[in-house]
Chain A
Amino acid sequence: MLSLKNEAAAGEAPGLNLEVQGRKVYYQGPADVRSLLDSQGESVLYANVRINGSVLDRRDFENVLLKEGDSVEFLYFMGGGSCST
């Protein structure tokens, strides 16, 4: 399910060295932000995304492609339903 690996094995398909939630990862999935977010295994959660410290507009999740060395943070919304029961 997760397409994150700790380190690149020599000779594998090219991927990206990223820092995700403060951890160095070698990422081989599609380079758009939405795909990385979906690969986190918390697809039920809704998150803001920061790339290199700047908040990314939600409309750009599919368009913006990650680059080698990018630092990505997922700021998950937690704190009850967005509709109260």
Chain B
Amino acid sequence: MFNLTEEEIERYSRHIILPEVGGRGQQKLKEASVLVVGAGGLGSPALLYLTAAGVGRIGIIEDDVVDLTNLQRQVLHATADVGKPKAQSASETMKQINPLVEVDVYRERLNKDNILPLVEKYDVVVDGVDNFPTRYLINDACVMKKKALVEGGILRFMGLIMSIRGGETACYRCVYEEPPPPGTVPSCAEAGILGAVAGVVGTLQATEVLKILTGVGKPLFNRMLQFDAEELSFHEVQAKRNPKCPVCGENPTITELVEYDHTCEIQAPGS
């Protein structure tokens, strides 16, 4: 009936038994492709669940190396992986979980020159990056290529999730028009992150991807969810397409990709 092997039908039986997913939905996952940017705190849980779920082809782009301080939350990587490229460590773990999934490994940093052709090769993009310049770059590229994007961010005990259909629903810039000024927003290295919060947000991102790919339910389009682990509460923010949005508004000022400076004001001059 569907183009699934006996092994696949057994492996994914708990999906297939869901009437909303069924063999048809599982088939869609098998034919789908997802690009996950970053194999760190958010990318780890997202990649684990997308792999286990049987998404046919998964791309990972990550240029970092596993560090001991990553292991408190980046659950794709184990102690023995310290020093290994994260993209490689991630794909090894994914192959162990589900060898049926095809994994594309890109050991590079996303930039304005490589992002558009890369994004074009995938159905959905997952943002699991740890800096604002790349976050805005991904949003703008997904708007330009009209791609589905699942945004996620974490800090301390909080997280946010937002799904975007580029050019159709509110984008990240419709809510956060410009990056915060340098020095105003601490990184997880500076302000800390409760490891399990990364798990919550990354897993929600995977959930959104699976919903978008199978057409199940109502994705988090035109909505942004803020998660507060201290209160254990979620707050949903209504997001509308902003007609003045610099990238998806009526008169966009960003028509070519811009890359914000990755350096920081705190840096010594000339360094």
Contacts and interface: CB of A to CB of B under 8 A. Distances in A.
Interface stretch (A9-17, A61-69, A70-78): A70-78
Contacts of A44: 156, 186, 191
Contact of A81 (B158, B189, B226, B238): B189
A32 B56 CA distance: 52
A80 B132 CA distance: 6
22 contacts: A21-B233, A22-B235, A45-B155, A48-B175, A48-B176, A75-B175, A75-B237, A76-B160, A76-B226, A77-B180, A77-B184, A78-B160, A79-B131, A80-B135, A81-B130, A81-B186, A82-B182, A83-B263, A83-B264, A84-B131, A84-B133, A84-B262
B185 A77 contact: yes
A85 interface: yes
Contact of A83 (B156, B182, B228, B233): B182
B154 A78 contact: yes
Contacts of A77: 132, 153, 176, 180, 184-185
Nearest to A45: B155
Interface string B22-47: 00000000000000000000000000
Contact of A82 (B184, B236, B238): B184
A73 B235 CA distance: 9
Interface string B206-230: 0000000000000000001010100
A80 B158 contact: no
A20 to B, nearest CB: 9
Contacts of B127: 79
Interface of B: 127, 129-133, 135, 152-156, 158-160, 175-176, 179-191, 224, 226, 228, 233, 235-238, 262-267
Q: Give the 5 A-B residue pairs with the shortest CB-CB distance, closest first.
A: A83-B264, A81-B187, A79-B153, A78-B153, A80-B130
Contacts of A84: 130-131, 133, 187, 262-264
- Interface size class of chain A, counting residues whose CB lies under 8 Å from the partner chain: 20 to 34
B156 A42 contact: yes
Nearest to A53: B238
Contacts of B154: 78-79
B18 to A, nearest CB: 30
Nearest to B157: A42
Given A81-B264, A82-B183, A83-B266, 20 more contacts: A42-B158, A75-B175, A75-B224, A78-B158, A79-B130, A79-B131, A79-B152, A80-B129, A80-B131, A80-B135, A80-B185, A81-B131, A81-B186, A81-B190, A82-B132, A82-B184, A83-B262, A83-B263, A84-B262, A84-B263
Contacts of A76: 155, 158, 160, 226
Contacts of B187: 80-81, 83-85
B80 to A, nearest CB: 25
Contacts of A45: 155-156, 158, 185
Taking each of A45, A79, A80, A85, which has the highest tally of chain B beta carbons within 10 Å of its own beta carbon?
Answer: A79
Contact of B135 (A23, A48, A73, A79): A79
